[in-house]
Amino acid sequence: MLRNLLTSSSAALLLSLSGESFAQAPVQSGLPNAPDQTPAFDGQTRAPALEDDIDLSMKTIAKGLEHPWGLAFVDNDMALVTERAGRLRAVDLQAGTLSPPIEGLPEIDTRGQGGLFDVSLDPDFASNRRIYFSYAEPRGDGENGTSVARGVLSQDHSRLTDVEVIFRQTPAWDSTKHFGSALAWDDQGRLYVTLGERSLPEPRQLAQDLDTHLGKVVRIDADGSIPDDNPFADGHNAGTERDGLAEIWSYGHRNVQGAAWESNSGKLWTIEHGPKGGDELNVPQAGKNYGWPVITYGEDYSGAPIGDGLTAKEGMEQPIYYWDPVIAPGDMTFYRGERFPDWQDNLIIASLSPGGLVRLTLDGERVTGEQRLASSLGRVRDVAESADGALWVLTDSRDGALIRITPENE
């Protein structure tokens, strides 16, 4: 075991055989929970630490938010923020004031990890003022499931009208854990919804069941209808000889709470919570199986292996990157602005534990470097970029805050 640890943690310190330079050591993140597991390919975990000593200015814009979850910018002066307690608020970004809870939301199950989750503007928001949000919907007899609804936001940001549910995760389950749920639009106006597998031993297995939405990424049109080119649009995936629900895009996921559309490549990226170790970064492909709970890195919270303790199996996809120990990812965004010029096209990830932000450099779909930032923020649930290139984060606590991040010296 010691030899394995030295191999994974110290090999990057060795002088390259070419004699050109010393390779950079990985980020100091502690010993892995499953030290006998080995990555499927070089660079799949513990990428070289990035050397960037930029000083950050972190300004609290609004506070007093109860476990805020999702953030969407209405314009340069106003944003919408969800609170897991079941409230949606408008935030004046100049004055830092919070609106009263916006009226018109449906009933929300706020037990455990449930509540109001992500919020996103319709691609045509400027003309239709429609917003979308995901939430834990009560379904009766203690059961619930992740649902997505849309509604029209009033001009004064006080209420939603014409609210309708456009997607319901099935089956409902008596669980208060692992709801997902992030919303991401592609360039054609189709909506991706990430869904958890409800955590408990029985529903966990349904991440592999294509007759359910548990542990899936689904793709729908703006009205909830099914895109014709979904992998199971006709109920069957010709590439795998398997039948499945028409909404399903990919499957075998655990609890995906982050998603971002990468416009340069035209692909969706997701990030999901692993067990004790095994957080995953994926680029989900249509109809593909991402393995949970048959394969995973890390281990169960008890220290026991998940299933047979496998990390790879034929027919199941590998994550492009994983963390052990975890970063407990929230949402993420690709940075496109000018305020941090060295961060162009980098992936910025919210971290709940150990907290702060994680920055990744990329070469196509391979991670080339990693940096931990803003650890003083503690639990960060969401990160987003505004039109002026600033980063904004939501801190996840009973007294959560909306914080604006820019370079210190600008």
Cα 211 from Cα 183, distance rounded (Å)? 22
* Phi/psi of residue 10, nearest 5 degrees: -115, -10
Give me the sheet containing 68-73, strands edge to edge: 68-73, 78-83, 87-92
Q: Which amino acid is at 300?
A: D
* Residue partners of 344: CB distance under 8 A and separation at least 6: 335, 336
Pairing of strands 183-185, 191-194: antiparallel
Based on the residue annotation, tell me whether 178 is a catalytic residue of this protein: yes
| Alpha-carbon span 37 to 353, nearest angstrom | 22
SS3 of 128, please?
helix
Provide the 3-class DSSP secondary structure of residue 206: helix
Scanning the structure block, which residue is given the tokens 């006080």? 158
Measure the CA–CA gap between 317 and 290, rounded to whole angstroms. Answer: 5
Calpha distance 156→125 (Å, rounded): 15
Cβ-contact 274, 301 below 8 angstroms: no
C-alpha separations of 256 from 28, 250, 361 in Å: 25, 12, 21
Integer distance in angstroms from the first to the last C-alpha of the chain? 47
Structure tokens at 355: 């907290």
Rounded distance between C-alpha atoms, residue 27 and residue 369, angstroms: 9
Burial of 402 (0-12, 13-18, 19+ CB in 10 A): buried
Decide: residue 78, CB within 10 A, 0-12 exposed, 13-18 middle, 19+ buried: middle
Question: What one-letter code names the amino acid at 351?
Answer: S
Q: Looking at this protein, which amino acid is placed at residue 97? A: T
User: Which one of 178, 213, 253, 273 is the catalytic residue?
Assistant: 178
Q: CA distances (Å), 192 to each of 120, 134, 255, in order?
A: 11, 11, 15
Q: Tell me which residues are annotated as active site.
A: 178
